[in-house]
Each structure stands twice: as C-alpha cells, then as structure tokens.
Structure 1
Amino acid sequence: MSTILKTENINKFFYDPIEFQVLKDISFEVKKGEFLSMIGKSGSGKSTLLYVLSTMDTDYKGKLHIDNQLVTDLSVDQLAAIRNEKIGFVFQFHYLLSEFSCLKNVMLPALKLGRLNHEEIEHKAYEKLKILGLEDQALKPANKLSGGQQQRVAIARALINDPLLIMGDEPTGNLDSKNTQIVFDIFQELTKNYGQTIIAVTHDDDFAKRSDRIIEMKDGEVI
C-alpha cells in the first residue's frame, strides 16, 4: 500500500508562559485506505499533532510528507492549496452554514477549488450525500436537520474534492451513541469500499478500538 502521510521526528514547543515541549520526536506513516485513531488524555498532544498533520500549524521542527511531497516549509498559499485539494476536515461541531441548503454546504469546498463547473459540482454533491443516505434532505436548510444528520452533511462536504485524507477532530464528540455508531460505520465504509484514508482524534475508546490502528499519545510522545 502506498504511504499517504509520513512524519519524521516532529517536535513542537509552546513558549507561553514558559517553554514547554508539546510534541516529542513523532515519527510514523499512514498507508492509503487506513483508518487510524489517535487517543490520549487531554494535554497529551493529540490535537496539536492533528493540526500539524493537517498543515494548519507550521511552527514545528521535523518533516511532514503528504502524498510523497515534503510539505514542511511550503508557503501559506501552497499549504492552503494542498489542504483544499488533498485534505477533508470533520470537526466536533459541523460548522455548516445554517441558512444554506445541505447541497450548497457540500458544494462549497468544490466551488472554492474551482476545478469543475457548477453543474458538475452539484451532481457530485448529490453523489456524496447519497453515500451518506441524505440525498432526500439535499434541499433542506442545514439548520432543519438533526445533529447526527448535520454531522453526516459535514462528512459529505469533507469528501466533495475526493481528498486523499480525511482528518477528524473528535468527529463523534457531539453525538449520542446511535449517531456515533452511524458515523463510525460511514468511516469504515469509506476506508473499506472507497479506499479513503482517515485520521481521527477521539476520546471514545470503543470508536478507537474498532478502527484499523490506534496511535496512543502521552505527554507529547507516541507510546
């Protein structure tokens, strides 16, 4: 399997109020189609690491490769382009635009990327909503959906540009057990049937145990 993401000796310090090392020599690889969970207590560094992996945080020592490209030291614009094209994000809160329809919310990253025309993007957005069992809700305003449905729309939005990687920051943190199960099953289907690669930070041990691989962090190190 090809390697989608690779870190080499990632170190990161916070300097406020005093110097504190938050990530210590993090080195690992993520293969295509892998469903990886990152776990650890609050303050273990897992969310900080996710922000480094997602290229949003560039203030670190070491090397980060995405899709066999060294992305460390690229410009802000180059990194924004990589995020737009290669990374889909699912957060604890769905961050949908409530007054827009589900369809429009899903279309937004593709409109921003600007590779396809409006009609093609709309068709693709319907396809992604279909995978998530929401095509019948496409034209509803996002705020008329349940919390679980909104999170599924957010996953469809993360998928619209066919990213190499989906990164989730507590993607089920706001959901009840039934909807957590639905989101987990969707993630599993995406990796098994669509070859999607997923890295998710989670506090949910059951969620983590059922993913393909767990990276556990403690005091800034992978243990």
Structure 2
Amino acid sequence: MKALSVNKINKYFYVAQKFQVLKEVNFDINQGEFVSIIGKSGSGKSTLLYLLSTMDTDYEGAISINGTTVTGKSQNELAAFRNAHIGFVFQFHYLLPEFSLVENIMLPALKLKLKSKEEIEHRAVELLGMLDMKGTELKKAAAISGGQAQRVAIARALINDPAVIMGDEPTGNLDSRNTAIVFDIFKELAHNKGQTIIAVTHDDEFAQKSDRIIELKDGKIINE
C-alpha cells in the first residue's frame, strides 16, 4: 500500500527573479518504508519535505498521503489532516520545558479530540515504555538530556498513529550514540510496526542504513 505519492512536482521561488527549485519530481513511498532524502545544501531536499508536510501549498503537481490527495485542500483542511496523519520530528525537539514528558506527548492527541484524556495518557505512557523511558513520565522536559528529549519527540509524533512520520535532520543535534538509538527506533517502527518514515538528513551513515535513499541534485532526483 502506498503511504505517499508525489506526481510531477515543480516548485519555484520568486526572489528577484523566478528560480525553479524542484523539477519534475516523482516517487512513491510504501507503507512501512524507511526512506532518507539526501542532497547537498541547495539541492531542494528541505523544500521537498516542506511540500510533503503540506506546510507549503505553492507548487505544481500533486501529492497524496495515505490515499488522500492533499493538493488543493484549504489551510484549515490541511491543518486538520496534518494533525491526524503526519507526525513530525525536527532537529530540535520543541518540547515545552515546564510540562512533564507525558503532557508533552499528549498535546497533539488532545488537539485531535478523538480519544478521552485517560486513553491518550495511557497511550503516552505506553509509548515512553516502548522507547525505553519507563519511569520518566512525570519528569519535566527541562530536566532530561538531548537524546532523551528526541525520543520524547518521537513519542509525540506517534501519539495520533500517523500514516507518515517526517523527520527534518532528526539526528542533527545528537552525538553518535544517540543518533544510533534514534536510528534503531525508526528502523524498529518501520520494520516491526509498519510505520512509514521519511527523513531529510545530511548524515550519510544514517541514510545508507535506511531502506531506501532518494537523492536530489539541483532540484532533480538523481538516485532513487
């Protein structure tokens, strides 16, 4: 089953003059695939992720996620779709420091309002246990290490059972040990839980160990 389809994407920037940053980009990603998007600075990889995340809607072509064509939807529709179907893990974890770990993880699900607070809390505790952080539930986010914080960010991304997790340099702020831990979590999620993961990364070792690499150069896919 396709988790994501990208069809003939073209993207332009208008800075002083018209500049094409993505050129006829096409690919499909299947459910349960762990895909790394790589390319040198300026290749278009971050721009592409921004389009896939539905945050930028100014492009030519079509994007479908989990069987739904997101191209052409309103900003309100896209905001609701993102919260229900896409989980995000960024280079910086963006946890609320004064909130407990469980409270941070619960936030996207409380916003979605599909489950009771008790159900959401139970799931948040379950996710912390799955990520080898059992017993830290009530710790404040300000009191944990960077590696632990990124694991909590992954738990937060998983709380709504998204179709796709998108990572923007998800190990960019981590040392080699914590990078390996985060990679192993992603691999476990993809291969044993059927979670689709798309990560933009400049870490060649991380990319080489993922299931598949999509490489961009000058806005075009040169290796897939």
Q: Which TM-score applies when normalising by structure 2?
A: 0.98
Which residue is 1:173 aligned to? 172
Count the aligned residue pairs: 222
| 1:154-201: CA deviation from partner (whole Å, max 9, x where unpaired) | 000000000010000000000000000000000000001110000000
Which residue is 1:102 aligned to? 101
| Structural RMSD (CA) | 0.5
- Separation of aligned partners in 1, 2:188 and 2:71: 31
Q: How far has the Cα of 1:17 moved from its partner?
A: 2.2
Give 5+ residue unaligned stretches, structure 1: none
Q: Matches of residues 166-205 of structure 1 in structure 2 within 5 Å?
A: 166-205=165-204
- Separation of aligned partners in 2, 1:134 and 1:103: 11
- Separation of aligned partners in 1, 2:93 and 2:34: 20
Q: Matches of residues 64-103 of structure 1 in structure 2 within 5 Å?
A: 64-103=63-102
Aligned to 2:17, the other structure's residue is in SS state coil
Give 5+ residue unaligned stretches, structure 2: none
Which residue is 2:205 aligned to? 206
Could you tell me the percent identity over the aligned residues? 65
Which residue is 1:142 aligned to? 141
| 1:87-134: CA deviation from partner (whole Å, max 9, x where unpaired) | 000000000000000000000000000011111100000111111111
Q: How far has the Cα of 1:135 moved from its partner?
A: 2.2
- Separation of aligned partners in 2, 1:53 and 1:47: 10
Give the letter aligned to residue 80 of structure 1.
A
Q: Matches of residues 118-133 of structure 1 in structure 2 within 5 Å?
A: 118-133=117-132
Q: Which runs of 4+ in 1 moved over 4 A?
A: none
Q: Which TM-score applies when normalising by structure 1?
A: 0.99
Is the counterpart of residue 46 in structure 1 residue 26 in structure 2?
no
- Separation of aligned partners in 2, 1:116 and 1:68: 23
Aligned to 2:119, the other structure's residue is in SS state helix
Q: Matches of residues 15-34 of structure 1 in structure 2 within 5 Å?
A: 15-34=14-33
- Separation of aligned partners in 2, 1:34 and 1:171: 17
- Separation of aligned partners in 1, 2:125 and 2:84: 19
